Structure 1
Amino acid sequence: MSRPFITAALLGLLAGCVTTPPTAISDPPPSLPDEHAEHSYRKILARYTGQKEIYDGFDTRVFAGVTLQTLSFREARVHRQAAFQQLPTVKVEQMLAEEQAKAAQAHEFFLGVHFNDFVYADFDSKHSIWRLALVTPAGEVTPSRIRRLGRVNMQTRAYYPYTSIFWVGWEIQFPTQMSDGSPVIPPGTETVTFRMASSLGKADMQVRAQ
């Protein structure tokens, strides 16, 4: 057996040991024609977004990203939608008011995940292997609501470009108050952590709190 053939076989074997996110044969995520507006949105998105992978040796089991829906991010997302859809001012003002009300009701995250084995994507199951938690200086709380948004599409990627069409989106809401009535995110908190943990591993994704 020739040396070139052995080398190629070994390289192929090693390549098979590492799992990477599937490469989507599709267009890049939508972006605004106004480069300044696009840069501004990407900057605020990065501020409130955390990403992590869970590994099993060389194999990556889970790719995950979360974005905290702060009032600042909600406003940026609405203005981005308004730019894409050419929304009238009255509609934008209505949407901003709705987002402000939602922000006061819960600490909400967009969660995007890709599992190599979809059987583990059971966050909304009563018997889920995952424990989700929001960790802050005040302690930690578990979700008050978990909702599957569905497979990521180009609309999703317009606002969360770190995802791909192989991912699934989730809406995760946490309470704003601890059991004693104190705020889950105390005033002055700089960062909080979205934690997802199971027998497969743990992913702590840290984001800015304000």
Structure 2
Amino acid sequence: MKMQLRLGALMMALAGCVSTPPTLGDPPPGFKDENRELSYQSVLEKYTDRAELYAGFDTVMFAAATLQTQAFREARVRREGAFKALTQERVQEILTQEFAEAARTHEFFLGVHVFNYRYEDFDRPSSIWNMVMVTPAGELKPVSVERVGRADLELRSFYPYMGTFWVGYRVRFPATYPDGRPVITDGMGHVVLRMASSLGKVEMRVHAR
């Protein structure tokens, strides 16, 4: 109970005054060591933002997005390694793969709970949603949107903001412009994942590095 209260306090402090939707379902797995769990949650929160969309008094969507930076990928892989008792050699293999992916694309993990399933179509070519990554240099369209599936305890152990009825997506954007310039530069502070449709617009702003 003490650890849960501290985690709750951390999440509130990191989120500031932003309201967050209630999380339904059993609590997701986490580290038994309090400091270790708090460390992971801190990295997660640095690269995560949340948004809510309403139409009058009706809820349209809850959403959260986590940018898969090298720092977050390392934290996530080491968490997976601890949960699954992987060898250090195997963890290093996965990290090498993850860092190679990070060099090729800028990837968001997107969690959503859309209250009308007809509008939960982010991975379809005919989706009602226009999804872009916004940087100080402009907007970019994703190169791929992949539906991961409905949230389960495995997925929620890495992204505990997801509830039972949420769905996960991988949204990948180019790492470089056609002329070879990097999309995210060393001095860039934040990037935004924006989703807009006739139902409304949400923006999730996260640290770029």
Task: Judge same fold: TM > 0.5, yes or no.
Answer: yes
2:85 corresponds to which residue?
86
2:8 corresponds to which residue?
none
1:12 corresponds to which residue?
none
Amino acid at match of 2:72: F
Q: Indicate how the Cα distance of structure 1 residues 188 and 23 shifts in structure 2: closer, same or farther if over 3 A, else same.
A: closer
1:135 corresponds to which residue?
134
2:185 corresponds to which residue?
186
CA distance in 2, matches of 1:159, 1:22: 17
Amino acid at match of 2:130: R
Q: Secondary structure at the match of 1:60?
A: strand
2:109 corresponds to which residue?
110
CA distance in 1, matches of 2:122, 2:179: 27
Amino acid at match of 1:164: G
Q: Deviations over 1:128-154 (max 9, x none)?
A: 100000000111100001100011100
Q: Secondary structure at the match of 1:29?
A: coil
Q: Is the 8 A contact 1:138 1:183 kept in 2?
A: no
Q: Is the 8 A contact 1:54 1:203 kept in 2?
A: yes
* Structure (1 or 2) with the larger CA radius of gyration: 1
1:15 corresponds to which residue?
none
Q: Is the 8 A contact 1:138 1:185 kept in 2?
A: no
1:147 corresponds to which residue?
146
Q: Is the 8 A contact 1:153 1:165 kept in 2?
A: yes
Amino acid at match of 1:60: T
CA distance in 2, matches of 1:184, 1:199: 28
1:101 corresponds to which residue?
100
Q: Deviations over 1:174-204 (max 9, x none)?
A: 0012244322112210111000000000001
Amino acid at match of 1:137: P
Q: Is the 8 A contact 1:78 1:92 kept in 2?
A: yes
Q: Is the 8 A contact 2:23 2:162 kept in 1?
A: no
Q: Is the 8 A contact 1:137 1:185 kept in 2?
A: no
2:163 corresponds to which residue?
164
1:4 corresponds to which residue?
none
CA distance in 1, matches of 2:138, 2:82: 39
1:27 corresponds to which residue?
26
Q: Percent identity?
A: 51
The RMSD of aligned alpha carbons is 1.4
> What aligned pairs does 1:53-68 form with structure 2 within 5 A after superposition?
53-68=52-67
Q: Indicate how the Cα distance of structure 1 residues 23 and 193 shifts in structure 2: closer, same or farther if over 3 A, else same.
A: closer
CA distance in 1, matches of 2:151, 2:110: 11
Amino acid at match of 1:52: A
**What 5-or-longer segments of structure 2 have no aligned partner?**
1-19
Q: Secondary structure at the match of 2:37?
A: helix
In the superposition, the TM-score normalised over structure 1's length comes to 0.87
2:72 corresponds to which residue?
73
1:51 corresponds to which residue?
50
